[in-house]
Amino acid sequence: MKLTYHGQSCIEIHMDDYNLIIDPFLTGNPRADITADQVKADYILLTHGHGDHLGDTIPIAKQNNAKVIAPFELATWLSWKGIETHGMGIGGGCDFPFGRVKFTLAHHSGAFVDEEKQEIIYLGDPAGILLMADGKTIYHAGDTALFQDMKLIGMHNDIDLAFLPIGDNFTMGPEDALIAAEWIDAKQVVPIHYNTYPLIEQDGAKFIKKLRYKDLSGVELQPGESIDC
């Protein structure tokens, strides 16, 4: 399994028979290394409905005939736009041809902001994602604050790779993410959701250094860089 980072919280997952992408925010993302029309995906996984995560889901889904796996309300909203979807609830899991997906808690919000109409559309509770595929377990925390149930996620799952937000202001910052990394106890941690805008600027290399002080392993990926799992 090869995982490629495309900036913000977007992760592309390459397996032998399937390509997945999580939170494909590319258009309007100053750190994105690819454009939406370059994405080849069989499935799109979404953590919540904010624009910097929903991103290019609709055009990517339509150009690839891809199925979207998302929190129920967000999946329903996307189905009204002609997208094939599979809605799920927090704590629920489901088997797919590529593997198993389970949605976890994430303490955040989950609405789409329509600036032109000055409307906020509720799209369900935010989620984290546990992906079990190719004999590996991947945890994408989505946008979240630190919460104590992360201990349970670590206790009940042997996590090979965890993607944790460190940007602060909208999500947990680096110090809380270090605690999350301890609780999750993943074999490898990758920071996400930082440096896209000045408000969430962080030092990813410093975060990785602090992980190592705690005898944890991690790597900072630049957009376009990949990690094998």
Q: Where are the domains of the chain?
A: 2-223
Q: Which pLDDT belongs to residue 112?
A: 87
Going across the sheet that includes 93-96, the strands are 93-96, 99-104, 128-133, 136-140, 161-165, 188-192
pTM (predicted TM-score) = 0.97
Name every residue whose Cβ is closer than 8 Å to that of residue 47 and which is 6 or more positions away in sequence: 9, 22, 23, 53, 71, 106, 126, 127, 128, 129, 140, 142, 143
Residue whose entry in the numeric block shows the structure tokens 């489901």: 94
Q: What is the pLDDT of residue 159?
A: 98
Cα atoms found within 13 Å of the Cα of residue 196, Cβ hemisphere only: 26
pLDDT reported for residue 160: 98
In the chain, the amino acid numbered 175 is E
pLDDT of residue 228: 95
Q: How far apart are CA 84 and CA 225, in angstroms?
A: 30
Q: What architecture is domain 2-223? A: 4-Layer Sandwich (3.60)
CA distance 117 to 76: 21
Q: What is the mean pLDDT of each run of 10 residues along the chain (229 residues)?
A: 98 97 98 97 98 97 98 97 97 98 96 90 95 98 98 97 98 98 97 98 98 96 97
